């Protein structure tokens, strides 16, 4: 599903990719040395980013996707229309993050920015609902 070049992306998606890449440079990953950056785009057009934050007690690690989503929620923006994840290698997001993001919009677009493909390659795009069929939701 990789489609063309980074240059051909809509301007909002370019900003989203840039924010994810920036956040990745701040990842705290001394244990795995696997750095991840993420950025979410809200319906209002704002972008919030996050990176993975590891801990000596490994299980406390927070993934980049959840950090970015929490940053948006903390400002009162819950309508997430897209998320970009920057890293080297796939697959991503992890199962936990798929479910976490699903809460805020099962049909958000997921942009997977695999930097192994170079910075000029367009990210792979996929719908979250395709990455997590039959995700869990409570009707309210
Ligand atoms: N990680 C993420 O940030 N997002 C994912 O979807 C999968 C994994 C991080 C957690 C940990 O810091 C490192 O990648 C290795 O698992």
Over residues 111-135, mean pLDDT: 95
Structure tokens at 106: 């099962």
Mean pLDDT of the chain: 95
**CATH code of the domain occupying 13-131:** 3.40.140.10
* C-beta 117 within 6 A of ligand 1: no
Full DSSP string of the chain: -B-SBGGGS-HHHHHHHHHHHHHHTT-B-TTT----EEEEEETTS-EEEEE-B--SSGGG-B-HHHHHHHHHHHTT---EEEEEEEESSS--S-HHHHHHHHTT-TT-EEEEEEGGG-TTBPPEEEEHHHHSTT------
pLDDT over threshold 70, residue 2: no
Specify the ligand 1 atom closest to the Cα of 38. 3
Over residues 26-37, mean pLDDT: 98
* CA 25–ligand 1 middle distance (angstroms): 14
Contacts with 116 (C-beta within 8 Å, 6 or more apart), sequence order? 88, 89
Rounded to an integer, what distance in angstroms lies between the CA atom of residue 139 and that of residue 137? 6
Q: What is the pLDDT of residue 30?
A: 98
Give the residue extent of every domain in the chain.
Answer: 13-131
Whether 124 is a known active-site residue: answer no
> Has this prediction a pTM greater than 0.75?
yes
Q: What is the pLDDT of residue 98?
A: 98
* CA 128–ligand 1 middle distance (angstroms): 17
Q: What is the pLDDT of residue 3?
A: 53
Q: What is the pLDDT of residue 1?
A: 46
pLDDT over threshold 70, residue 138: yes
Q: What is the pLDDT of residue 13?
A: 95
pLDDT tens readout for residues 40-65: 999 999 999 999 999 999 999 999 99
């Amino acid at each position: 599903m990789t489609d063309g070049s980074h240059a051909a992306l809509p301007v909002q998606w370019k900003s989203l990719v840039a924010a994810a890449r920036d956040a990745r440079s701040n990842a705290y990953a001394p244990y795995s040395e696997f750095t991840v950056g993420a950025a979410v785009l809200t319906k209002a057009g704002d972008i919030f980013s996050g990176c993975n934050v590891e801990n000596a007690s490994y299980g406390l690690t927070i993934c980049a996707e959840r950090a970015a989503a929490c940053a948006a929620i903390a400002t009162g923006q819950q309508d997430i229309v897209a998320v970009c994840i920057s890293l080297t290698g796939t697959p991503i997001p992890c199962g936990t993050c798929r479910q976490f993001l699903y809460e805020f919009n099962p049909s958000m677009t997921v942009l997977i920015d695999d930097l192994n493909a170079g910075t000029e390659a367009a990210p792979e795009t996929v719908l979250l609902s395709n990455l997590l069929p039959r995700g869990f939701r409570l009707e309210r």
